[in-house]
């Protein structure tokens, strides 16, 4: 005969508060508050065991009336198997087999995603999905349970009961690991405790799950700013601890400060210490950091790192990235771990052309350690500059970028990336392999802005509009908007298309 046990992991019902639930449990089970407190440590505990199913249900009803959400778990003779089954039940997998691995399709863009996602990360659709209705109901049930835990945590955060709030949010994430709201609330929880690095981690994780969820963008920006301040203070403390040895280094670091007067003061003090050359590059203009890079003096690296990573002003980070690119070009081969780390981090900075300059600088440095970061950066780089990511990979020493170029060849969902990778490999004297050569003939790359365009689609457009009243429209399309970004196209393609349109040929 099957026997069952009741397990509890500290989760409470929607609208309940922890203190009230603890008092009710204490009264119902005649236990002191200290004993009840031990049940709310966020780890599953067995409350009752070796029960018949009907008896287990009665206990479950009593507990849930008190506000405690518990689970009925079938017992096993093997303790290890029993523990694994308990964990599986608590994580929500037992609600419907291996539900977390199921997929559903967005009807708006046909993107396949995890079934537990609340919305499509590609197009933002949050209402129209293709999936079995029975499974969809089970998924909605889990999503509701996860949302209830988030609602509980919101009240707890407002009351500054952060430990209990963290338990509730962890439960929400455990139920649905693809819940971007839960991850955002975890970031907010750490933010209000001034644990900014952890806050940034969870906010960014939330954004990765759903780029269209922007509720915590302001908090993310503020958390990043506070993190930069803390990191900058730590560096300044280290320099001050060096005493007279770190005085010049501290002043050079200050040359990259976002405050104009701080830069000027640092340059004057360096002049008084026998380093007048720095005053030639620092004149209080917005191009100070670019000029430091153009000097080709590697001693300017601390100043450029300061401006690139710790400035809250986007134009200063942009100038610092440009300066780092100039320095890498003039001081080649540049090998500096601090510069490398700063540039890799700058690949995520979408302000202006900052990440593009970082790509170019890493290419000029040729450091093989940058390969993976360059490969990952393709999603942050503007379409205009994507070709430079491939060029940078090709420049890395020891052909360290080749494996990543071949990884792009395997991206069937990014045909433009396959085309660019194939061309880059050919330029390196390597064979792309397979049928890439034939397939990529249908693609072109704009000579002006570098954006890839699909020749096949454009030819289909001409085929449709090459005659009759649409002749003028086809002519405008060929001459002005052949490239999806700037309208400029390879001359050979333009001439070929124009000839076809002029002949009014229906292909």
Q: To which residue do tokens 């009961």 refer?
A: 161
Q: Looking at the domain 101-224, which fold is it?
A: 1.25.40
The set of residues, in sequence order, having a beta carbon less than 8 Å from that of 156 and lying 6+ positions away, is 18, 162, 164, 165, 168
Edge to edge, the sheet with strand 103-106 lists 112-114, 103-106, 129-130
At a CB cut-off of 8 Å and minimum separation 6, what does 8 contact?
39, 44, 45, 47, 63, 68, 69, 70, 71
- Mean pLDDT of the chain, nearest integer: 76
Looking at residue 202, its pLDDT comes to: 93
The β-bridge partners of 7 are 46, 71
Domain borders along the chain are 4-90, 101-224, 242-366, 454-502
Measured over the CA atoms of residue 141, residue 144, residue 121 and residue 404, the dihedral's sign is negative
CA 476 to chain centre: 40
**Lowest mean pLDDT segment, chosen from 22-36, 65-79, 187-201, 481-495:** 481-495
Tell me the pLDDT tens digit for each residue of 111-164: 778 878 878 877 777 766 666 666 777 778 888 888 889 998 888 888 888 888
Count of alpha carbons within 13 angstroms of residue 74, beta-carbon side? 6
Angle ∠(314,319,325) on CA atoms, nearest 5 = 130
pLDDT given at position 365:
93
Q: In the 8-state DSSP scheme, what is residue 296?
A: T
Domain 4-90 fold: Ribosomal Protein L30; Chain: A, (3.30.1390)
* 441 against 381, higher pLDDT: 381
Contacts of 457 (CB under 8 A, 6+ apart): none
Instruction: Please state the pTM of the whole predicted model.
Output: 0.56
Q: Which residue has the higher pLDDT, 42 or 429?
A: 429
46-70 confidence digits (pLDDT tens): 888 878 888 888 888 888 888 888 8
pLDDT digits (tens, 9 = 90+) for 300-357: 898 899 888 888 888 888 999 999 999 999 888 888 888 999 999 899 888 888 999 9
pLDDT at 233 (0 to 100): 82
Asked whether the beta carbons of 339 and 304 are under 8 A apart, the reply is yes
pLDDT digits (tens, 9 = 90+) for 460-488: 444 444 444 443 444 434 433 345 444 44
> Once rounded to an integer, what is the mean pLDDT over residues 425-447?
60
């Amino acid at each position: 005969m099957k026997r069952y046990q009741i397990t509890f992991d500290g989760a409470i019902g929607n609208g309940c508060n922890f203190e009230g639930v603890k008092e009710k449990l204490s009264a119902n089970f005649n236990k002191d508050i200290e004993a009840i407190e031990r049940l709310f440590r966020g780890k599953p505990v067995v409350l009752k065991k070796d029960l018949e199913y009907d008896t287990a249900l009665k206990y479950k009803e009593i507990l849930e009336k008190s506000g405690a959400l518990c689970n009925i778990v079938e017992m096993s003779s093997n303790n290890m198997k029993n523990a694994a089954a308990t964990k599986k039940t608590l994580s929500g997998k037992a609600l419907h087999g291996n539900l977390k691995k199921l997929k559903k399709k967005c009807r708006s863009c046909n993107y396949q995603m995890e079934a537990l996602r609340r919305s499509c990360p590609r197009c933002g659709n949050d209402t129209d999905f293709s999936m079995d209705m029975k499974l969809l109901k089970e998924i909605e049930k889990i999503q509701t349970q996860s949302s209830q835990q988030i609602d509980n945590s919101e009240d707890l955060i407002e009351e500054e009961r952060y430990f209990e709030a963290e338990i509730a949010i962890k439960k929400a994430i455990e139920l649905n690991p693809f819940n971007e709201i839960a991850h955002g609330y975890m970031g907010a929880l750490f933010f209000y405790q001034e644990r900014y690095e952890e806050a940034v981690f969870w906010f960014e994780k939330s954004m990765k799950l759903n780029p269209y969820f922007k509720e915590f963008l302001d908090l993310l920006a503020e958390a990043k700013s506070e993190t930069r301040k803390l990191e900058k203070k730590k560096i300044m403390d280290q320099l001050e601890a060096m005493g007279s040895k770190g005085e010049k280094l501290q002043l050079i670091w200050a040359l990259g400060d976002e405050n104009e007067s701080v830069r000027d003061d640092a340059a004057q003090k360096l002049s008084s210490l026998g380093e007048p050359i720095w005053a030639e590059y620092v004149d209080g203009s917005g191009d100070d950091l670019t000029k430091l890079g153009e000097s080709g003096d590697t001693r300017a690296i601390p100043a450029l790192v300061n401006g690139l990573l710790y400035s809250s002003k986007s134009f200063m980070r942009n100038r610092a990235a440009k300066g780092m690119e100039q320095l890498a070009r003039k001081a080649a081969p540049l090998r500096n771990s601090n510069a490398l780390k700063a540039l890799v981090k700058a690949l995520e900075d979408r302000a202006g052309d900052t990440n593009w300059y970082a790509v170019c600088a890493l290419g000029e440095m040729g450091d093989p350690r940058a390969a993976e970061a360059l490969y990952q950066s393709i999603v942050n780089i503007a379409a205009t500059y994507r070709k430079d990511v491939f060029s940078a990979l090709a420049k890395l020493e020891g052909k360290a970028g080749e494996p990543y170029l071949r990884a792009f060849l395997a991206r069937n969902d990014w045909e433009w990336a396959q085309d660019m990778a194939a061309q880059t490999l050919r330029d390196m004297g390597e064979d792309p392999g397979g049928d890439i050569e034939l397939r990529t003939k249908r693609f072109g790359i704009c000579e002006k802005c570098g954006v890839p365009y699909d020749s096949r689609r454009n030819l289909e457009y001409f085929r449709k509009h090459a005659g009759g009243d649409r002749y003028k429209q086809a002519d405008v399309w060929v001459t002005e908007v052949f490239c999806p970004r700037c309208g400029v196209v390879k001359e050979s393609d333009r001439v070929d298309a124009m000839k076809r349109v002029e002949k009014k040929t229906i292909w």
